[in-house]
Amino acid sequence: MKSLLSCVIVTASLTLAGSAFAAELPAAAKAKCGACHALDKKLVGPAYKDISAKYKGDKDAVSKMIANITKGGAFGWKLSNMPPKGMGATEAEIKTIAEYIAGLAQ
Ligand code: HEC
């Protein structure tokens, strides 16, 4: 019993330690956005970390990003136009990625 308990504690603390670092990029972000976006360097589009910084402290960050990703276009980065939904991302994928990007700034 005691060893089972410590096993649970170890697992829990590993999970916590993991979340202190930037979570792994969602798979859909690699597949459907990766041609133009990377975590910390500018490609065709801005780095996720820079986007996150733009929205830091904005409580509507996730909904604004979802709207922008869905409609595509230009958002003031002066790079080029983003295609609507990237490369065919679903609504659920867009939401996951927007939450991920917003979470980077914390
Ligand atoms: C063909 C290239 C391309 C693809 C694919 C692409 N983007 Fe973009 N994205 C851009 C460009 C270019 C910009 C910057 C537009 C500008 O100059 O304002 C941008 C900007 C953004 C922004 C910033 C929005 C803001 O409010 O400032 C977010 C968030 C974003 N992209 C998310 C995504 C996600 C998520 C995907 C995948 C579902 C994706 N992008 C796929 C090119 C792309």
Question: What are the pocket residues of ligand 1 if the criterion is a CB atom closer than 6 Å to any ligand atom?
Answer: 32-33, 35-37, 44-46, 51, 54, 65, 68-69, 74-80, 82-83, 85-87, 89, 94, 97, 101
Specify whether the backbone of 86 is left (phi greater than 0), alpha (psi in -120 to 50) or beta.
left
Per-residue pLDDT, averaged over 38-44, amounts to: 97
Measured between alpha carbons, how far is 80 from 83 in angstroms, rounded to an integer?
10
pLDDT at position 22: 57
Dihedral (CA of 36, 41, 45, 51) sign = positive
Q: Is the pLDDT of residue 37 over 60?
A: yes
Q: Is the pLDDT of residue 62 over 80?
A: yes
